[in-house]
Chains A and B, each alone.
Chain A
Amino acid sequence: MLTYKFDWAIVTSGKYFDWIVSGFYVTIKLSMVSIALSFLLGLIIAIMRMSHLRPVRWFAHGYLEFFRNTPLLVQIFFWYFGSYKVLPAVANDWLVKQDFEFAAAVIALTIYTSAFIAEDIRSGVRSIPKEQMEAARSSGFSYIRSMQYIILPQAVRLTIPPLINQFLNLMKNSSLAMTIGVAELMYQARQVESYTFKGFEAFSAATLVYLALSFTITGLMTLYDKKVLQPLKGR
């Protein structure tokens, strides 16, 4: 350890710096695409989970339990290596024309995260008093419309802090995409390490980027709580 010479220059400028930066971009892109899709999917699953039709509710429940109780890594491997046998031919053809590693990572992250988001949305909806729904129904809104105009807008406001938290988890989980060769931050840090043997510097740089991202997101959450939720409570 004593003979180790630090060389911070390799991660602050030049080729290896560019690798880390490009890894950062891929991490951001992967997280942004996946959070948007998992919010949509999570919303659909949450609504299905609260449906009056028993089969629909059971399907949503099964979906939630299965994907929450299976490791993300296994899900990533399934979509990357094994999905071709269960997907229809059209979907396979479309997928191989995309950046397949990236697409598989997005699918796995989306499905995994949507299961968590659906539960967050559901508990947000359940915290809205039942009378709101009854009042909406009695003034002539259909179930879907009362959800759309009355319940969900209020629930989503309460769900934003847990959603930001899920985004934080998603951003950290996206590092697992390196196992199937998506060139995100973790992958690039490892790449720099294997090219230069300067692992300490490479991992420090990646750690700093992850910490900066995490603290920014946590800061946003605190800000939202202070500026939006607290004033509402005071009313």
Chain B
Amino acid sequence: MIGGLDFSVVSDNLSYFFIGRYPKGPLGGVGLTLYLAVVSLALSFIGGLVLGLMSVSRNRLLRFGSSTVIQTIRGMPLLMVIFWMFFLLPAMLGSGMTASWTIIVALTLFTSAYMSEIVRAGIVGIPKGQTEAAISTGLSHGQAMFYIILPQALRNMIPSFVNQFVSMIKDTSLAFIVGVTELTQIATQINNRTMLYPTEIFIFIAVIYFVICFAFTELSRWLERRLAYRKAI
């Protein structure tokens, strides 16, 4: 008992909170939350890179296409993107998609739009002289981008990517709405079953999310400081 709260509901269900019914059943809880976040982040890194490169391209059509996609996605709530995916993906691909993969597609689409801004800012932040020097040594525009600009830009983007990962972990909680058994869904399940301990359960998962996200926020700050330090040398 802490301050009139009875946390035994948490200790009784501890493994369910962390890994769901794994290994006897599917992975759930914190494990699934991290899995969703890592897979979606990896995919949206690719999506963000493609959209970001398109938005700094010299081709007007590519620029227009990417900015339309980015503006549209950034103008909608994530929940809307999730509902669209749940609605459109089965219509387009048949019923082969699991709920987890639909969520991954929605999170990827949503985060790619935000990621592309990071990529764009990273590329624009590299001094123009670099491109000019690369081109004057005989590289093509594409080669200059891939061998000279991107490697430098990507290193500067690392702290922002880590921040995006924090947002992603928080966003995976929305998978609850479509019944994917990640941490928030597990919490509501246990709450529905036990009825008496909503306060304890939601404080507990808030603390878990906090510990994970805060660790990554601090990591991103540390990376940023180290990057600034290395630049200063």
Interface string of A177-194 (1 = CB under 8 A from B): 011000000100110000
Give B141-198 interface residues, CB cut-off 8 Å to A.
Answer: 166, 169-171, 173-174, 176-177, 184, 187-188, 191, 198
> Contact residues of B with A, CB < 8 Å?
3-5, 71-72, 74-80, 83-84, 87, 91-92, 166, 169-171, 173-174, 176-177, 184, 187-188, 191, 198-203, 205-206, 209-210, 213-214, 217
Chain B interface helix/strand/loop/mixed: helix
Task: Tell me whether B202 and A81 are in contact (CB under 8 A).
Answer: yes
Nearest B residue to A66 by beta-carbon distance?
B210
- Select A82's contact among B3, B79, B184, B202, beta carbons within 8 Å: B202
Which of A47-55, A138-146, A200-208 is found at the contact surface with chain B? A200-208
Q: Looking at chain A, what size class is its interface with the partner chain?
A: 35 or more
Given A70-B209, A85-B5, A203-B83, A77:B75 Cβ within 8 A: no
Task: Tell me whether A82 and B203 are in contact (CB under 8 A).
Answer: yes
Given contacts A77-B202, A186-B83, 4 further A-B contacts (CB under 8 A): A71-B169, A78-B199, A176-B79, A176-B174
Nearest A residue to B169 by beta-carbon distance?
A71
Given A85-B5, A203-B84, A69:B214 Cβ within 8 A: yes
Q: How far apart are the CA atoms of A94 and B215 in the complex, in Å?
A: 38
Q: How far apart are the CA atoms of A218 and B76 in the complex, in Å?
A: 13
Could you jot down 15 A-B contacts, CB within 8 Å?
A: A65-B210, A70-B213, A71-B173, A71-B184, A71-B209, A72-B173, A73-B176, A74-B205, A77-B198, A78-B206, A82-B200, A85-B198, A85-B199, A203-B80, A203-B84
